[in-house]
Structure 1
Amino acid sequence: MIHEAKENVKAAGLSADLMTMDCHNLNFPDETFDMVICRNITWTLDDPQKAYKEWLRVLKKGGRLLVSDACWYLHLYDEEKKKIYEAHDAAMWEKYGRGIHAHEDAETGKELSSKLFMSDKKRPAWDLDYMMEIGFSKVFALKDISDISRTSMERELNKLTPQFLVGGEK
């Protein structure tokens, strides 16, 4: 992703310092940033609670956090959602020759996904509750920003998991 970001920065004729680091333990002093933006990462984190606290720590007073993600794996915990997911997945295989999730090995993908902290959370409600619990104010959620964040094929593939946006202020 850093390579892609570098290419995007270059194509825009801009410059930026791009870094990789553990979002649970950022190498920045307290109150460094006006804004922290995350897209499609919180669902993968071992400890999203720690990451949210870290993002709060590095925000300046009045700084804002924006998190865009989706509730990817609730179908692993709900039989009705599982039936709907399987039917939609079969339709996507028929139409596109691929499933909703393009894991090389579907069973391994399912196994790993079921172990993720966020997989059984109802989001964005979980995110809002946790943000308020740790001290964010002016929290908000947009339950579905798929029309502005996904291509038409992505919207069709992922229609059961709309892209949401949550935010808050320190």
Structure 2
Amino acid sequence: MNDTFNHIIHPKEDEKTFITSYWSDRAHDFGALRAKELESTKLKLWRDELTSHIFDSDRSLKILDIGCGAGFFSTILSQLGHTVHGIDITPNMIDEANQLADALNCEATFSVMDAENLSFDANTFDIVVARNVTWNLPHPDKAYAEWLRVIRPGGLILNYDAEHARNHHELPKSVHHAHEYVSDDLKERCHTIYHMLKISSFTRPQWDKELLAKLGASSVSIDPTVGLRIYSEEDEFYIPVPMFLVKVIK
């Protein structure tokens, strides 16, 4: 465990309440950034990335977007003809997702739900997708078990993640990135989330791969090059920490 975690900040609220409050306060600006991202060159990069992994792409698949935020993945996949439902624990994010879907005439649907406690039946979905979610979870092992439960045998999980809050406070002012215009208070709360969760002390994505194998996944592969390929430019969407893909077949 890093020395960083010897000085963990403990918020007054329980972990999920603190995390939900943080994302509630970021929801409006976050939704605006996702809308801009859907109009940027990142749209094609992400669409090509997702479709490169999706089997049976010639038919409509049932896809669950975990921690959907403002509905970025949900919108892309719905516009490709798939049946997509996005869930997020933060009601304000679901409001943003619904507004974005309405603005783009997108047929994806959304609901408030905890990524660690899904209300769907087993074997409901063909695919689970997630972006920038797992690092926020107090019980990621429970979440992964749930995600495996709700996909059908042979189904797919595409989990894109990074240790987002780890180094943002050390970035020089000259570097453009997705947190550039986030207030100092919100940045500090973001760092608090990172330091208060056990997952931040794990060696990732190796930890993810080992856990998923124990949970019975038939195949787990890691792609550490996603961030280098999609976020090669220092712009308002830039993520300066390495993004990776955890790809799972049930």
Give 2:209's aligned residue: 128
C-alpha distance in 2 between matches for 1:16 and 1:155: 23
Mapping 1:17-166, distance limit 5 Å: 17-72=109-164, 88-89=170-171, 91=172, 93-94=173-174, 102=182, 104-105=184-185, 107-146=188-227, 147-148=229-230, 152-153=234-235, 158-159=239-240, 161-166=241-246
- Aligned to 2:109, what secondary structure does the other structure show? coil
The DSSP-based 3-state class of the residue aligned with 1:5 is helix
Residue by residue, what CA displacement relative to the aligned partner does 1:25-49 show, whole Å, maximum 9, x if unpaired? Answer: 1111111111111111110111000
- Conserved in 2, the CA contact under 8 Å of 1:74 and 1:122? no
1:3 and 2:85 equivalent?
no
1:114 is displaced (CA, Å) by: 1.0
Query: Identity over aligned residues, as a percent?
Result: 34
Identify which of structures 1 and 2 has the higher relative contact order when contacts are C-alpha pairs closer than 8 Å and 6+ apart.
1
Corresponding residue SS for 1:152:
coil
Please, which runs of 5 or more residues in structure 1 have no aligned partner?
76-84
Aligned CA distance change for structure 1 residues 137 and 30 (closer, same or farther; 3 Å): same
Inter-CA distance 95–40: structure 2 relative to 1 (3 Å threshold): closer
CA RMSD of aligned residues (A): 2.9
- Supply the distance in 2 between the matched residues of 1:127 and 1:148 (Cα, whole angstroms): 22
Q: Which amino acid aligns with 1:39?
A: R
**Contact 2:166–2:191 (CA<8 Å) still a contact in 1?**
no
| Residues 126 and 101 (structure 1), Cα distance of their counterparts in 2 relative to 1, 3 Å cut | farther
C-alpha distance in 1, partners of 2:156/2:200?
Answer: 25
1:107-154 deviations in Å (ceiling 9; x for gaps): 554344211122112211111111111011221111021232686325
Q: CA deviation at 1:155?
A: 6.9
Contact 1:128 1:166 in 2 (8 A): yes
The structure-2 alpha-carbon separation of the partners of 1:150 and 1:21, relative to structure 1 and needing over 3 Å to count, comes to farther
Is the 8 Å Cα contact of residues 73 and 120 (structure 1) preserved in structure 2?
Answer: no
Paired positions, count: 155
Q: 5+ unaligned residues in a row in structure 2: which ranges? A: 1-92
Q: Which moved more, 1:118-127 or 1:107-116?
A: 107-116
Q: Distance in 1 between matches of 2:189 and 2:162?
A: 20
Deviations 1:40-65 (A, max 9, x none): 11101110000000111111111111
The match for 1:80 is none
Q: Contact (CA 8 Å) 1:74, 1:121: kept in 2 or not?
A: no
